[in-house]
A and B are shown apart, each in its own frame.
Chain A
């Protein structure tokens, strides 16, 4: 495809351009920032948006590259490009919904946007990792920025508490991930992902060092994707963090965590999948069940969406448990696109409705929304229906593909549990819709912010994404399948032949 031969000597520019653009933008914002008053910080947000757009264009150019750069450390395949594109879009929507929030809450704009971009850089690095060090560096670059973002409302004790809980448990899980990397390095003698896959044979699968390493890495990634029983930090961190940051955590961090998780486990530890799919079966079942049942009783929308995010991680893990099936990976990537648009939209609506300093909107704030703000109510209805999994929206189609991949791997019971869980989830998603349409507006209606252009734009994009990804699934699914095929080191045509 490209004339670049990516050897260690030949410095490869193209594959790192999307990453370099985001890092450069972040540094530029930090340099300009001190000269900008906090009230004018929206300009820095626009600069962040321009940076993300440039990176997006570069990422689209790297599609079809499918090579390794930097001695195998960086994988510039379609899988990386796919995640980079989705992460960049999610980050751009986050920035768009933050533009007014940052000014309203009196937050330091320069640091906020720079940290968002640094986190996006880490996420993209994780998706493009070609060895385990890069997975670690990407994960930490992302996490350190997001810890700081979660505590960004410095004077709000709840934001402090969210950041501290997230930080302690996040750093704790990093220790496990790193220990797992060390053990796998000891078992296979390499940290490169492709060499690890090559080194895995039947004899390696019996190696206790490798098995222990798998377990440790599973714990580390389990924390990051918020899988039960490693989810304790999720509701607290999501509730206490500033709402745009919560959206970023629920979507961006989850995308990146799954990008790394899938690349390491599904694509490169696939040869020993018999050793870990049973564990994932149990984790998936637990994650869905705990997430959905805990969400039933929540009044605060942010907390409800946090448990809903846990439940959705569970649905995705159903796909992971079906690992040797090639279609499972593509289905999960497709699911993640729909998940990203829908969740960002839902959080954007929460930002519109939350009062200053209230730390999120409760169900009461949604009462009678269909009369006071019919457009917003309609958008929220759409997001809730998509999260519920109602056809033809993105959430339904994603679930359909993931569950059928699991069925083809004969995980019948797991799919039954998932279907029952989806039924449970209807209750708490539908409750939001009922409150908006069937209940009278609260007597003491809170003084709501006028709709702001950034917020309105992100809601509109999220609505469009939720509908389009669901109504026309084929192009997205094809992109997802060829992306996953490239992570497996196969051409898309061969995967198509396998199906």
Chain B
């Protein structure tokens, strides 16, 4: 059986890739993709930890996280589309109407 540390390391790696992706990419759709990657890294950690602890909680949370991620995609893409209609850009650097 694969030791838990491998799963946790992979999860941490995926989470880091996602977090760095949000910080350095400028296309809001790619940023959003990176956020989804973070959530899935967390799912992996939940499943692996749940299996190790021997409780179902970890597995059940994943269903909730997936549901929420789907809802988030719906709201997020709607926001991105409404911005694209007005501004014709998905570049985060061009979001500069609000600043001090």
Q: Which residues of A contact B (CB under 8 A)?
A: 133, 136-137, 140, 144, 147-148, 151, 154-158, 160-165, 167-168, 171-172, 174-175, 178-179, 181-183, 185-186, 189-191, 235-236, 239-240, 294, 297-298, 303
Contact = CB atoms under 8 A, between A and B. Distances in A.
Interface in B38-54: 38-39, 41-42, 45-46, 49-50, 52-53
Contacts of A155: 86
Interface string B20-62: 0010000010011001001101100110011011010110110
Nearest to A240: B98
A144 B75 CA distance: 7
A164 B28 contact: yes
Contacts of B53: 185-186, 189
B86 A160 contact: yes
B75 A148 contact: yes
Q: 9 closest A-B pairs (Cβ-Cβ)?
A: A175-B38, A160-B83, A186-B49, A236-B98, A182-B45, A178-B42, A157-B86, A140-B68, A189-B53
24 contacts: A136-B64, A147-B79, A148-B78, A151-B79, A157-B86, A157-B97, A158-B98, A160-B79, A162-B98, A165-B98, A168-B32, A168-B35, A171-B35, A171-B76, A172-B35, A174-B39, A175-B35, A179-B41, A179-B42, A182-B46, A182-B49, A185-B61, A190-B55, A235-B98
B83 A164 contact: yes
Contacts of B97: 157-158, 161, 240
Contacts of B49: 182, 185-186
A151 B78 CA distance: 10
Interface of B: 8, 11, 15, 18-19, 22, 28, 31-32, 35, 38-39, 41-42, 45-46, 49-50, 52-53, 55, 57-58, 60-61, 64-65, 68, 71-72, 75-76, 78-80, 82-83, 86-87, 92, 95, 97-100
Given A172-B35, A239-B98, A189 B61 contact: no
Given A168-B32, A191-B61, A179 B45 contact: yes
Nearest to B49: A186
A298 B100 contact: yes
Nearest to A156: B86
Contacts of B28: 164, 168
B79 A164 contact: yes
Main DSSP-derived SS at the B contact region: helix
B65 A175 contact: no
A171 B72 contact: yes
Contacts of A148: 75, 78-79
Contact of A178 (B19, B32, B65): B65
B57 A190 contact: yes
Nearest to A157: B86
Please report whether the interface of chain A is mostly helix, strand, loop or mixed according to DSSP: helix
Contacts of A158: 97-98
A175 B15 contact: yes
Contacts of A179: 15, 38, 41-42, 45
Contacts of B76: 147, 167-168, 171
Which of A154, A179, A181, A190 has the most chain B CB atoms inside 10 A of its CB? A179
B80 A185 contact: no
A397 B97 CA distance: 38
B31 A168 contact: yes
A179 B45 CA distance: 8
B7 to A, nearest CB: 10
A297 B99 CA distance: 12
Contacts of B15: 175, 179
B27 to A, nearest CB: 11
B22 A168 contact: yes
Contacts of A239: 98
A175 B37 CA distance: 9
B82 A160 contact: yes
